[in-house]
Structures are given as C-alpha cells and as structure tokens.
Amino acid sequence: MTRFAPGGPFDSDKAIPDEIKIKLQSHFGLNLPLFDQYLLYMKNLLAGDLGPSFKYVGWDVSELISLAFPVSLSLGISALLIALLIGLPAGMLAALRKNTLWDYLPMGIAMVGVCLPSFVLGPILIMVFATELKWLPALGWYSWTDLILPSLTLGLFYAAYVARLTRAGMLETLKQDYIRTARAKGASPSRVILRHAIRGGLLPVVTYLGPAFAGLVSGSFIIESIFFIPGLGKFFVTAAFNRDYTVVLGTVLFYATLIIILNLFVDFLQAWLDPKAREQQ
C-alpha cells in the first residue's frame, strides 16, 4: 500500500507561490487572447499534459493522478468483486426460487441495501468491526487489511443493485422460447441455466457494470474521506476546497475518459453475450 509522507502533495494547503504563478502563466499562455489560450490548452491536453497544480509545488496534474489513481483503482476492483460475488448468486437464487423464502429474503436484504447509502453503512461497519470487535483497522492505508472495510462499504451497496438486476434478467430469460425448447429436449436444469439462461440473464448486469465500475472508482469520494484513504476521490475533494482548478479540471477529464472507455468495453461485451445486439450493431 502506498503511504504518503507529511509534506507531500496531499498535505499542501498553502497559498499559490510566485513560482507556480509564473509557471501557470507560461503553460497556459495567460498573456494570449482567450481563444489562443483554449487552443494551447487543447494542444497540451492531446499530448497528455494537464498542466501544473495551483497548490502542490513542483507537481503536475498528471503526476498527481498517476500517484493517487492506483489507490482508487484497487479499492474499486475489490468492491466490484464483492458486489459480483454477493449479488450474482443472490439474484440467481431468487430467480430460480421465485415467490419462495429464497426469493423474498435476498431481495428484501437487497432493498435495504439500495436504501442504505454508503456514507451511513461505512460508520456502522467502523463501529462494529473496528471499535467494538477490534477485528479490523478503521482508518489509513498501510496494509491489505485497511482495504477490507471500505471495500465492503462500497461493495455491499452495489451488490444490492446487482442482485435485483440479476433476478430481473434471469426471470425474463427463463420465459423465452429457446429455454422451453431446451427443457423439452431433455436438457438437465443445470445445463439449461449454465449453458442457455445465464448469458441472457446477465445482460442487465453487464450493461450496469460500466457505469458501476466508474462509479466505484470515481464515486468513492465520501468513502475515501471517511476511511482516510489517499485516493483520487479524497484528492479531488481536497483540490476543490483548495480551489486548485487545474487539478479539479484534470480529474474530471480523467473520469470522463474512464467512463467512455468502460461503456465502450461494456458495449462489446454485451454484443458478445447477445447475438441480437451484435446484429443491430
């Protein structure tokens, strides 16, 4: 785990030094007309240069993002795995045991999870597992155990959505003609589910995964602040309070690019799972 030492880029809250002002003026061409400034910024942006930070002396925005994003990415991947490992089996079980206890129980828990925001769930987990039971650390980012509570906080929230989407997708798929045909041919229930139904049933989940993963990475601002994780979310909030405009703008552009790439990946994955979508494309 990365540990940021005091005095590093994440601890700066001083006024803009004169050397940074000079660097900003030179980089953005502040002495040029407004349209020329825009062209210069777009030219630097295409080259991957997001400019220097207003507050963090000697640091460029791209350097700060490369330093903090791996932390948010590891948190997002861990939370996504938790969401899938819990949400997919729960949704499939509810669909296969429709209108029974095995349907009502997981879907009732999922409804509670949807209504319970992560900034409420996080302090509850800290109170139970860190303060009372003392099983897990509550704050910091120094070892792999620091990843457990924030990953659970994010993952359980998204697991509720995954479970409900999986149930809806599986129920819709199980009504299709090709499922009835497979059963009529004597295919075993496990073969019908694993070979035929699961691909169509997971389409709503796959569609949701692109924005969900981007939300897990970019939407962890509050969680990173609660658990004192030095990720890009907490860094973005700090930059907003510091009025570090280049960092805020660079982070927004980075997240927008990430969302576009993930949605494009989801479109290809959806086309692979659904032949009808492939023909429409």
Domain CATH number, residue 225: 1.10.3720.10
For residues 89 and 78, give the distance between their C-alpha atoms in angstroms, rounded to a whole number. 17
Higher pLDDT, 237 or 22: 237
Q: What is the pLDDT of residue 7?
A: 40
Provide mean pLDDT across the span 89-102: 86
Say whether pLDDT at 8 is over 50: no
Looking at the domain assignment, is residue 170 inside a domain?
yes
pLDDT confidence bin for 174, thresholds 50/70/90: confident
Say whether pLDDT at 84 is over 80: yes
For residues 121 and 243, give the distance between their C-alpha atoms in angstroms, rounded to a whole number. 30
Looking at the domain assignment, is residue 25 inside a domain?
no
Q: What is the pLDDT of residue 85?
A: 92
Calculate the alpha carbon distances from 7 to 98, 162, 247 in Å: 57, 41, 18
Provide mean pLDDT across the span 169-188: 76
Looking at the domain assignment, is residue 161 inside a domain?
yes
Per the structure, how many domains does the chain have?
Answer: 1
Q: What is the pLDDT of residue 270?
A: 73
Contact 40, 119 (CB under 8 A): no
Looking at the domain assignment, is residue 233 inside a domain?
yes
Say whether pLDDT at 1 is over 80: no
Provide mean pLDDT across the span 93-109: 86
φ, ψ of residue 154 in degrees (nearest 5): -75, -45
Model pTM? 0.77
Provide mean pLDDT across the span 13-42: 72
Exposed/middle/buried for 247, CB within 10 Å: 0-12, 13-18, 19+?
Answer: buried
Residue 258 sits in which domain range? 59-280
Tell me the average pLDDT of the chain: 78
Q: What is the pLDDT of residue 5?
A: 39
Say whether pLDDT at 72 is over 60: yes
Looking at the domain assignment, is residue 34 inside a domain?
no
For residues 123 and 271, give the distance between their C-alpha atoms in angstroms, rounded to a whole number. 40
Contact 79, 151 (CB under 8 A): yes
Looking at the domain assignment, is residue 42 inside a domain?
no
Provide mean pLDDT across the span 182-201: 73
pLDDT tens digits for range 245-265: 888 888 888 888 888 888 888
Q: What is the pLDDT of residue 55?
A: 79
Looking at the domain assignment, is residue 203 inside a domain?
yes
Q: What is the pLDDT of residue 13?
A: 44
pLDDT above 70 as % of the chain: 87
Say whether pLDDT at 145 is over 80: yes
Looking at the domain assignment, is residue 123 inside a domain?
yes
